[in-house]
C-alpha cells in the first residue's frame, strides 16, 4: 500500500524534492498570504448555474504550492480520509509538473476533481496542516491545489489511467454509483477484479449527480471521472435495484463473490408538523433531484419543478445551502434559511455559508417551523415559525435549541424545502436475511474493513454512517476494497 | 434500453405495450410497478405492471395518454426502445384467502387490477369484479378479468356497455346482496375515494392502489408521500397499496395536481409539435 511512513519518507528524500526545498527559504515560504480562490461575482452567479469558484491560475497555483514547506512529518496526510500523498502532489505543482501532480492524486483518489471541489478540507487535511497547527496562520490551500491539478490534467487531454493489475476474472459487485461505490470500484479494478457497479437510477454518479448542484460540481466533471473508471474496466449497469431487479442470491449465481453496498442514505426526513404535505413543500432530495438530475428548470426537459418567489429552506447543512442557493438561482425574490440553532452551530461548510450570504440568502437562525398553511389549491402560502434560544449542549456537543413560549409568528412562503437530514434506505438492509442492522437502520460493519456480519457483504458511506460527506464515503470505499481483497484472498484464492 | 415487442391499441387514448425486461419479468409480482423514462430529457413516471411472462422475458404495461410522457409512451411502436425501465418496485399485493373479494377497477386501473384478481382467484377466493369507465371503449381487458372472476359487473357513465352508472352503484349492489369480506379498488383517485367511502359505510376492509407523482421510485425523494392514518407514508416503498379507509384522499388529490398548470402548458406545446 502507498500510505506508510517509509513510503512517504522515501518519496520526500528523492533528489527533485530535496532540490526544490532548498530553492526557497522556509521563512519566505511562510511569509506569503494564502491564495484567494477567484470567484464569479455574487450578483451575477446567483442568476446562473455556472461554477462559483473559477479555479486557480497556473501562477497562483505555483505560488501557493511554494507556501508548503514539505514537512518531514506531513500531518496533513493524517487528515485525509483517502490518504493522499499531499506534499508530493503539491511539490509537483511547485515544480510545474502538473500532470505528475494529478497522477499522484490518483494513486489514492479516483475522483480528485470532485474532492478538490466538495471536500471540507478546512476540517480535514488543512486542519492538520503545519500552518494551522503550529504557525496559527491560514493553511496551505490543499483543496484549491487538488482541484487545480485535476482540472489541469482534464483540460490537457492527457488523462492518465492508473496501472491495472492482471485481470483475475473474480467478479465483485458494487451497489450504488455514488462516491463510495466509485472509490471502491476504482480500487478493486486496479487490483485486477472484474467490477460491476449496479445503479438504481438512470445515471451514474449518485449524490454527485442528483444532489450537488452544477454551481458547485458540474456534472461534466463527474462524467470525466466516471469515464476514467470505464476505461480502467469498471462495468456500469443503470436501472438496476439490487434486492428488487435481482436478489443477492441471483447475483451470486451469476458468479459475484463479494458485494460492496454503498446505497446511500435514501429516505428524506420530514418534521411531521401540520401541513407538511401541502403542494410546494419538497424534501431537499426531491427538489435537488428535479433540478440537477432531471433538468427540470430547463425548457427542453420534460420534468417539471415549481418556482417559488418566497422560498424557505429548513435546515443548516450543506444540502440546505445547495437547496436555498438553487432556489435563488431559479428566481426566488426571498430565499431563506430557517435553522433552529445559531450560525456557529451550522453543520454546513463555512465556505458555503459565506457564498450563500454573498448571494443574498437570508438567514433566519434560531427559528423553527411549527405549521404550514395553504391556499384552496393546496399550495403552501404561509409558515408559522417559533423562535428558539440555545440551552445546554446535547449529545452532539452542540447547544440544544429550546423553543421560546408565545414566540410564534407567520411568514409568507410559496415554496418550502425540508432539509433536516435523511434516514437509511431500508431497501438493501431488508433484502438480506440476518444482516446486522443498527437501531438507526444503518448497516453494522467492522470499521477496519467495512465487513458486515454476512462475510461476503461489505458496506460504507451513508448506509453505514447515516449521513456524512463525499470524502468519508470514498474513504469507506477504499477501506472496503482492501477488505474485500483480503477476504477473497483468504477464502477463495488460498 | 428495453425493446417493445408488441402493441395493442385498446382505444384512441389507451395502449397496451409488451416490453422486453427479462429480470423484471422474473421478479415481478401482483402489485409491483416500474418507473419508465422516454429519451435523455424525459421524465420518470411510475406505471403498474399489468402482466408478465417470465419465459419470454416480457412485461405488459397499459398506458393512457394524459400528458407529455404518457403520450410519448403511447406513441412508441414494436421495435422501438424505451430509454429507461426500472423495477419491479413497491410492495407486492398481500395475496391470501379471505372469502369473497369485491374488486373494483376504474379505467386504466383495470390493468393493474388484473394480476391481483388472478392471484386472489388462485388463492381460492370468490371474486366479484366491478369494471367501470366513461364508455364502452374504455372498459379494457374484460375477457381476461372474466377468466379469473366468478362474476363481472360492468358500469359505464353513458350506459354504452353494461349498466349505466358509477362504480359505486355496482359495488353497492353486490354488498347489499351478499357477504363481502374484503374489497380492492384501483383507478383514478376520485373513484377510489368514493369506493372507499362506500365500503367504510359497510365496514368492509378495503385496499387501494395509489398512483402518485414519483421521481426515483426507491424512497429517495418523498414526492409520493401520502397521509395514511396520522402517518406520512411513501407510496413507492411503503405502498402502492394501503388501507383505503386510512388514506387521506383529499390530500392525495391536491398533491396529484401539484404541477397541473405546468403539465397542461407542456402538453399543449407538445401536441403542437406533433402537428
Q: Give B220→chain A minimum CA distance, Å.
A: 5
* Domain B100-256, CATH class in plain words: alpha beta
pLDDT of residue A266: 79
Provide the mean pLDDT of chain B.
Answer: 95
Cell of B14: 389507451
CATH topology of domain A268-422: FAD/NAD(P)-binding domain (3.50.50)
3-state secondary structure of B190: helix
Measured CB to CB, residues of chain B less than 8 Å from chain A are 23-24, 27, 37-39, 41-44, 68-69, 83-89, 215-216, 218-223, 225-227, 232, 234, 237, 251, 254-255, 257-259, 262-263, 266
Best of B222, B247, B270 to disrupt the A interface by mutation (most A CBs within 10 Å)? B222
Architecture per CATH, A56-160? Orthogonal Bundle (1.10)
Residues of chain B positioned with their CB less than 8 A from the CB of A289? 215-216, 220-221
pLDDT at res. A482? 95
Beta-carbon separation of A266 and B219 below 8 A: yes
Q: Do A302 and B69 touch (CB under 8 A)?
A: yes
- A240 — contact with chain B (CB < 8 Å)? yes
Residue A373 touches chain B, beta carbons under 8 Å: no
Alpha carbons A469 and A212: distance in angstroms, whole number: 11
What phi and psi values does residue A459 have, to the nearest 5 degrees? -150, 155
pLDDT at residue A193 in the model: 97
- Grid cell, residue A7, equals 513510503
pLDDT in tens, B18-71: 999 999 999 999 999 999 999 999 999 999 999 999 999 999 999 999 899 999
Angle subtended by helix axes A350-358 and A318-329, to nearest 10: 20
Give B93→chain A minimum CA distance, Å.
15
In this prediction, residue A3 carries a pLDDT of 60
* Sheet containing strand B44-53, strands side by side: B81-82, B2-9, B14-20, B58-64, B44-53, B33-37, B84-89
**Residues in B touching A268 (Cβ below 8 Å):** 220-222
Cα B124 from Cα A350, distance rounded (Å): 64
Nearest to B262 among A267, A268, A304 (CB): A304
List residues bridging with A367 in a β-sheet.
A387
Nearest residue of A to residue B44 by CA position? A303
Per domain, the residue ranges of chain B are 2-89, 100-256
Verify cis geometry, omega within 30 degrees of 0, for the bond prior to B240. Answer: yes
Using a CB-CB distance cutoff of 8 angstroms, which residues of chain A are in contact with residue B237?
267, 426-427
On whether any CB of chain B is under 8 Å from the CB of A177, the answer is no
B88·A244 Cβ contact <8 A: yes
Kindly list the residues from chain A whose CB atom is less than 8 angstroms away from the CB atom of residue B235.
none
Q: Dihedrals φ, ψ of A160, to 5°?
A: -85, 140
Look at the block and give the residue holding cell 454527485.
A208
Mean pLDDT across B106-112: 94
Length of chain A: 494
For residues B130 and B155, give the distance between their C-alpha atoms in angstroms, rounded to a whole number: 7
**pLDDT the model gives residue A61:** 97
Q: What is the pLDDT of residue B41?
A: 95
Instruction: Tell me the pLDDT tens digit for each residue of B125-147.
Output: 999 999 999 999 999 999 999 99
Which segment of A395-404, B6-15, B189-198 scores lowest on mean pLDDT? A395-404
Write out chain B residues lying below 8 Å of A378, CB-based. Answer: 251, 254-255, 257-258
The answer to whether the B2-89 and B100-256 domains have the same CATH topology is no
CA distance A259 to A458: 6
Under an 8 A CB cutoff, do B86 and A245 touch?
Answer: yes
Q: Which long-range contacts (CB under 8 A, 24 or more apart) does A442-450 make?
A: A442/A466, A443/A261, A446/A483, A448/A479, A448/A483, A449/A479, A449/A480, A449/A482, A449/A483, A449/A486, A449/A487, A450/A260, A450/A476, A450/A479, A450/A480, A450/A483
Contacts of B52 in chain A (CB under 8 A): none
Chain A partners of B262 at a C-beta cutoff of 8 Å?
A: 304, 306
Residues of B in contact with A302 (CB under 8 A): 38-39, 41-43, 68-69, 266
One digit per residue, the tens of pLDDT, for chain A of length 494 reads: 456 788 899 999 999 999 999 999 999 999 999 999 999 999 999 999 999 999 999 999 999 999 999 999 999 999 998 899 999 999 999 999 999 999 999 988 889 999 999 888 999 999 999 999 999 999 999 999 999 999 999 999 888 888 899 999 999 999 999 999 999 999 999 999 999 999 999 999 999 999 999 999 999 999 999 999 999 999 999 999 999 999 999 999 999 999 999 998 778 999 999 999 999 999 999 999 999 999 999 989 999 999 999 999 999 999 999 999 999 999 999 999 999 999 999 999 999 999 999 999 999 999 999 999 999 999 999 999 999 999 988 887 888 999 999 999 999 999 999 999 998 888 888 889 999 999 988 999 999 999 999 999 999 999 999 888 888 999 999 999 999 999 999 997 65
Distance (Å) from the alpha carbon of A317 to chain B's nearest alpha carbon: 17
**What span, in angstroms and rounded, lies between the C-alpha atoms of B121 and B48?**
20
Q: What is the pTM of this model?
A: 0.94
Whether chain B has a CB inside 8 Å of the CB on A276: the answer is yes
Between A244, A276, A303, which is nearest B43 by CB?
A: A303
In whole angstroms, give the CA distance from residue A69 to residue A237.
45
Pinpoint the residues of chain A covered by CATH 3.50.50.60.
171-266+424-493, 268-422
Contact A241 B83 (CB under 8 A): no
Using an 8 Å CB-CB cutoff, list chain B residues near A426: 219, 237
Cell representation of residue A5: 511512513
Q: Is A122 on the interface with B (CB under 8 A)?
A: no
Question: Cβ–Cβ of A239/B24 closer than 8 Å?
Answer: no
1.10.10.10, 1.10.1750.10, 3.40.50.150, 2.40.30.10: which CATH number matches B2-89? 2.40.30.10
Contact B215 A286 (CB under 8 A): yes
Which residues on chain A are in Cβ contact (under 8 Å) with B22?
A: none
Closest to B222 (Cβ–Cβ): which among A244, A286, A304?
Answer: A286
A·B CB contacts under 8 A: 122
pLDDT at B9 over 80: yes
Q: Which residues of A81-108 are buried (b: 16+ CB within 10 A; e: fewer)?
A: bbbbbbbbbbbbbbbeebebbbbbbbbb
ipTM for the whole complex: 0.94
The beta-carbon neighbor of A378 closest among B88, B237, B254 is B254
pLDDT in tens, B163-180: 999 999 999 999 999 999
Strand partners, A409: A385
CA atoms of B242 and A278, how far apart (whole Å): 20
Chain B residues with CB inside 8 Å of A294's CB?
43-44, 215
Closest CA to B216 of A203, A466, A196: A203
Please provide the CATH number assigned to the domain covering A171-266+424-493.
3.50.50.60
Is the Cβ–Cβ distance between A102 and A65 less than 8 Å?
Answer: no
Residue B30 to chain A, least CA–CA distance (Å): 14
C-alpha distances in Å from residue B232, one per residue of A152, B33, B250: 48, 20, 14
Query: Residue B84: in which H helix or E strand, if any?
Result: strand B84-89
Smallest CA-to-CA distance from B86 within B120, B42, B130 is with B42
**C-alpha cell read off for B146:** 372474466
Mutate to test the interface with A, among B44, B220, B262, B271 (most CBs of A within 10 A): B220
Amino acid at each position: 500500500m502507498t500510505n506508510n511512513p517509509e513510503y512517504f519518507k522515501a518519496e520526500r528524500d528523492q533528489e527533485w524534492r530535496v532540490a526544490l526545498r532548498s530553492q526557497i527559504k522556509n521563512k519566505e515560504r511562510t511569509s506569503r498570504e494564502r491564495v484567494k480562490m477567484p470567484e464569479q461575482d455574487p450578483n451575477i452567479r446567483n442568476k446562473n448555474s455556472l461554477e462559483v469558484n473559477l479555479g486557480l491560475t497556473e501562477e497562483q497555483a505555483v505560488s501557493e504550492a511554494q507556501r508548503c514547506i514539505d514537512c518531514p512529518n506531513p500531518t496533513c496526510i493524517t487528515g485525509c480520509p483517502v490518504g493522499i500523498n499531499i506534499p508530493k502532489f503539491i511539490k509537483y505543482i511547485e515544480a510545474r509538473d502538473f500532470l505528475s501532480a494529478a497522477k499522484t492524486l490518483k494513486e489514492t483518489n479516483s475522483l480528485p476533481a470532485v474532492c478538490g471541489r466538495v471536500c471540507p478540507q478546512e476540517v480535514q487535511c488543512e486542519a492538520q496542516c503545519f500552518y494551522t497547527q503550529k504557525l496559527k496562520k491560514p493553511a496551505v490551500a490543499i483543496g484549491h491545489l487538488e482541484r487545480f491539478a485535476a482540472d489541469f490534467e482534464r483540460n490537457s487531454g492527457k488523462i492518465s489511467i492508473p496501472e491495472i493489475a492482471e485481470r483475475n476474472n473474480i467478479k465483485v459487485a458494487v451497489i450504488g454509483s455514488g462516491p463510495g461505490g466509485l472509490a471502491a470500484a476504482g480500487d478493486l479494478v486496479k487490483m485486477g477484479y472484474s467490477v460491476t457497479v449496479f445503479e438504481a437510477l438512470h445515471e451514474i454518479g449518485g449524490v454527485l449527480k442528483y444532489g450537488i448542484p452544477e454551481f458547485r460540481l458540474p456534472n461534466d466533471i463527474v462524467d470525466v471521472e466516471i469515464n476514467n473508471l470505464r476505461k480502467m474496466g469498471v462495468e456500469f449497469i443503470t436501472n438496476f435495484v439490487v434486492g428488487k431487479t435481482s436478489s443477492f442470491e441471483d447475483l451470486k449465481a451469476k458468479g459475484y463473490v463479494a458485494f460492496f453496498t454503498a446505497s446511500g442514505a435514501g429516505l428524506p426526513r420530514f418534521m411531521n408538523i401540520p401541513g407538511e404535505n401541502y403542494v410546494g413543500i419538497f424534501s431537499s432530495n426531491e427538489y435537488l433531484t428535479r433540478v440537477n438530475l432531471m433538468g427540470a428548470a430547463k425548457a427542453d426537459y420534460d420534468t417539471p419543478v415549481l418556482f417559488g418567489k418566497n422560498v424557505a429552506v429548513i435546515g443548516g447543512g450543506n444540502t440546505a445551502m445547495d437547496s436555498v442557493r438553487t432556489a435563488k438561482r431559479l428566481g426566488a425574490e426571498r430565499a431563506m434559511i430557517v435553522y433552529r440553532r445559531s450560525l456557529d452551530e451550522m453543520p454546513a461548510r463555512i465556505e458555503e455559508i459565506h457564498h450563500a450570504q454573498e448571494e443574498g440568502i437570508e438567514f433566519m437562525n434560531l427559528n423553527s417551523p411549527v405549521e404550514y398553511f395553504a391556499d384552496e389549491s393546496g399550495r403552501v402560502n404561509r409558515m408559522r415559525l417559533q423562535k428558539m434560544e440555545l440551552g445546554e449542549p446535547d449529545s452532539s456537543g452542540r447547544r440544544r435549541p429550546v423553543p421560546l413560549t408565545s414566540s410564534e409568528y407567520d411568514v409568507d412562503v410559496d415554496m418550502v424545502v425540508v432539509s433536516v437530514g435523511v434516514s437509511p434506505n431500508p431497501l438493501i438492509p431488508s433484502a438480506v436475511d440476518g444482516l446486522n442492522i443498527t437501531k438507526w437502520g444503518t448497516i453494522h460493519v467492522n470499521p477496519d474493513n467495512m465487513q458486515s456480519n454476512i462475510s461476503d457483504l461489505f458496506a460504507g458511506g451513508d448506509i453505514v454512517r447515516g449521513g456524512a460527506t463525499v470524502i468519508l464515503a470514498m474513504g469507506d470505499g477504499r477501506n472496503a476494497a482492501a477488505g474485500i481483497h483480503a477476504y477473497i484472498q483468504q477464502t477463495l484464492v488460498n | 434500453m428495453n425493446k417493445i415487442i408488441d402493441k395493442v391499441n385498446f382505444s384512441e387514448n389507451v395502449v397496451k405495450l409488451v416490453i422486453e425486461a427479462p429480470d423484471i419479468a422474473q421478479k415481478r409480482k401482483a402489485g409491483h410497478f416500474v418507473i419508465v423514462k422516454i429519451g435523455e430529457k424525459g421524465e420518470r413516471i411510475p406505471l403498474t405492471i399489468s402482466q408478465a411472462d417470465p419465459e419470454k422475458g416480457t412485461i405488459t404495461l397499459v398506458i393512457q395518454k394524459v400528458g407529455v410522457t404518457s403520450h410519448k409512451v403511447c406513441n412508441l411502436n414494436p421495435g422501438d426502445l424505451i430509454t429507461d425501465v426500472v423495477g419491479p418496485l413497491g410492495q407486492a399485493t398481500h395475496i391470501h384467502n379471505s372469502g369473497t373479494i369485491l374488486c373494483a377497477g376504474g379505467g386504466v386501473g383495470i390493468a393493474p387490477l388484473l394480476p391481483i384478481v388472478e392471484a386472489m382467484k388462485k388463492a381460492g377466493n370468490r371474486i366479484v369484479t366491478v369494471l367501470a369507465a366513461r364508455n364502452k371503449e374504455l372498459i379494457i381487458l374484460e375477457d381476461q378479468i372474466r377468466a379469473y372472476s366468478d362474476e363481472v359487473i360492468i358500469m359505464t357513465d353513458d350506459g354504452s356497455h353494461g349498466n349505466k352508472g358509477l362504480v359505486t352503484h355496482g359495488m353497492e349492489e353486490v354488498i347489499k346482496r351478499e357477504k363481502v369480506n374484503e374489497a380492492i379498488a384501483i383507478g383514478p383517485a376520485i373513484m377510489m375515494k368514493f369506493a372507499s367511502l362506500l365500503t367504510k359505510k359497510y365496514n368492509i376492509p378495503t385496499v387501494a392502489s395509489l398512483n402518485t407523482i414519483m421521481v426515483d421510485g426507491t424512497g429517495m425523494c418523498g414526492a409520493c408521500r401520502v397521509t395514511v392514518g396520522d402517518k406520512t407514508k411513501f407510496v413507492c416503498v411503503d405502498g402502492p397499496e394501503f388501507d383505503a379507509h386510512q388514506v387521506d384522499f383529499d390530500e392525495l388529490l391536491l398533491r396529484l395536481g401539484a404541477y397541473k398548470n405546468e403539465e397542461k402548458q407542456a402538453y399543449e406545446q407538445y401536441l403542437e409539435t406533433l402537428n
